[in-house]
């Protein structure tokens, strides 16, 4: 099968492989990867019928690429799978007006729809007559285990999943737990923000990291004792999977599919459940047997996320067309 991925990935990153990003679909399927906006804005010499040379085109949809997906399907003979590249709330609440209409049109024009959470399936099925399946994103587990993250002694540090999304809630939970935290910075301003908030919140010591490459990020994550990510989005959830890959537990709500599958005993009620997060962190810190049990279960589920299993899910969806 000749495969192609079309996304918003910057042209400089189209060849990146063996990382926890959507680019991994092109690597796993041994296909090509194009920036959809380059076609839409005429930045290359190809027209949309160029995609007829592919058996399957996966279009990673955000609002900017809805029209791209429609044109690929209408102007080429390729089979098109729409992949919802983001949280379900983005598509149901943040796309407005004409874009909403175009989005529903795309769902019903494409040959199939791939989602990242089983909770998304009934929502999308109500909007389209096309096959809908949970495909997620392939994960380079072999590279993590054999190349990037050898076994190391874990530090008594909690890695926060984000400073950008629900950062206050993650910091509040960390303050209640009392352990030092580690944050991957978006900019140097993050350090100043934390310093200013310490006037009002008992925020413990924070280690700031700047790791623009995923390889550097997951290498740093490998030294943490656990992960914490209180986030409202219903989405695949790369963070919990990164944690499991480096053999540390993650506390998060089950609106992350990876969390729900890997760490069901560490799911809090919702992203605001600070008390639940603090209680679970305490159990992980005090009960070695509990820590080992949740990690053993996560290890037993990791096969679901590797490259081979992800490829099978996509092909199973393709065979329903």
Instruction: List the CATH number of the domain containing 72.
Output: 3.40.50.2000
The reply to whether 108 and 226 lie within a common domain is no
Q: What is the pLDDT of residue 285?
A: 97
Distance CA 52, CA 81 (A): 14
Residues 249 and 123 in one domain: no
121 and 193 together in one domain? no
Which of 74-78, 148-152, 163-167, 286-290 shows the lowest per-residue confidence on average (mean pLDDT)? Answer: 163-167
Whether residues 152 and 241 share a domain: the answer is yes
Residue 306 in 3-state DSSP?
strand
Give the model confidence (pLDDT) of 127-141 as tens digits: 999 999 999 999 999
Would you place residue 123 in the very low, low, confident or very high pLDDT band (cuts 50, 70, 90)?
very high
pLDDT tens for each residue of 264-274 = 999 999 999 99
132 and 182 share a domain? no
Same-domain status, 146 and 113: no
CA distance 4 to 9: 13
- Report d(CA 71, CA 260) in Å as an integer: 36
Q: Residue 166 above 80 pLDDT?
A: no
User: Region 280-309: what's the mean pLDDT?
Assistant: 97
- Number of folded domains in the chain? 2
152 and 121 in a single domain? The answer is no
133 and 147 share one domain: no
pTM of the model: 0.93
Kindly indicate the confidence band of residue 191, based on its pLDDT and cuts at 50, 70 and 90: confident
Question: Which residue range forms the structural domain that includes residue 262?
Answer: 141-304
Using an 8 Å Cβ cutoff, are 133 and 316 in contact?
yes
**Residue 164, pLDDT score:** 67
Q: So what's the pLDDT on residue 39?
A: 82
114 φ, ψ (degrees, to nearest 5): -105, 135
pLDDT greater than 70 at residue 103? yes
Residue 172 has pLDDT above 70, yes or no: yes
Q: What digits encode the pLDDT tens for the residues 215-259?
A: 999 999 999 999 999 999 999 999 999 999 999 999 999 999 999
pLDDT value at position 314? 98
- Gap between the Cα atoms of 99 and 186, Å rounded: 30
**311 and 162 within one domain:** no
pLDDT score of 189: 82
Per-residue model confidence (pLDDT) at position 192: 87
Q: What rounded mean pLDDT belongs to the chain?
A: 94
Closest to 22 measured CA to CA, from 106, 99, 114: 114
Same domain assignment for residues 128 and 174: no
**Dihedrals φ, ψ of 36, to 5°?**
-65, -35
Residues 145 and 265 in one domain: yes
Q: Grade residue 143 by pLDDT with cuts at 50, 70 and 90.
A: very high
pLDDT at residue 274 in the model = 97
* Same domain (yes/no): 152, 293: yes
Q: The tokens of 255 are what?
A: 């609106």
């Amino acid at each position: 099968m000749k495969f192609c991925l079309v996304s918003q990935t910057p042209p400089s990153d189209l060849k990146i492989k063996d990382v926890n990003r959507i680019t991994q679909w092109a690597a796993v399927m041994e296909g090509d990867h194009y920036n959809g906006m380059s076609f839409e804005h005429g930045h290359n010499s190809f027209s949309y019928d160029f995609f007829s040379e592919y058996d399957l085109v996966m279009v990673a949809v955000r609002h900017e690429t809805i029209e791209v997906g429609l044109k690929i399907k209408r102007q080429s003979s390729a089979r098109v799978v729409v992949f919802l590249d983001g949280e379900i709330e983005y598509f149901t609440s943040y796309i407005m007006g004409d874009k909403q209409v175009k989005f529903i049109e795309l769902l019903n024009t494409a040959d199939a729809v791939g989602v990242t959470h089983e909770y998304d399936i009934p929502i999308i099925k109500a909007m389209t007559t096309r096959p809908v399946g949970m495909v997620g994103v392939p994960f380079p587990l072999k590279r993590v285990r054999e190349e990037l993250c050898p076994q190391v002694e874990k530090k008594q540090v909690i890695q926060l999943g984000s400073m950008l999304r629900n950062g206050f809630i993650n910091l509040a939970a960390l303050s209640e737990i009392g352990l030092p935290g580690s944050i991957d910075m978006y900019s140097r301003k993050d350090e100043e923000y934390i310093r200013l908030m310490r006037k009002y919140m008992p925020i413990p010591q924070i280690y700031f990291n700047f790791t623009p490459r995923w390889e550097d990020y997951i290498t740093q994550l490998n030294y943490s004792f656990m992960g914490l990510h209180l986030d409202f989005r219903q989405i695949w959830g790369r963070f919990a999977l990164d944690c499991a890959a480096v053999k540390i537990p993650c506390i998060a709500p089950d609106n992350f599919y990876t969390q729900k599958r890997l760490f069901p005993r560490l799911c809090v009620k919702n992203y605001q459940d600070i008390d639940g997060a603090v209680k679970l962190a305490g159990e992980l810190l005090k009960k070695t047997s509990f820590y080992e049990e949740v990690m053993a279960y996560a290890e037993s589920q990791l096969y679901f996320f590797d490259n081979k299993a992800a490829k099978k899910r996509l092909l199973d969806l393709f065979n329903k067309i």
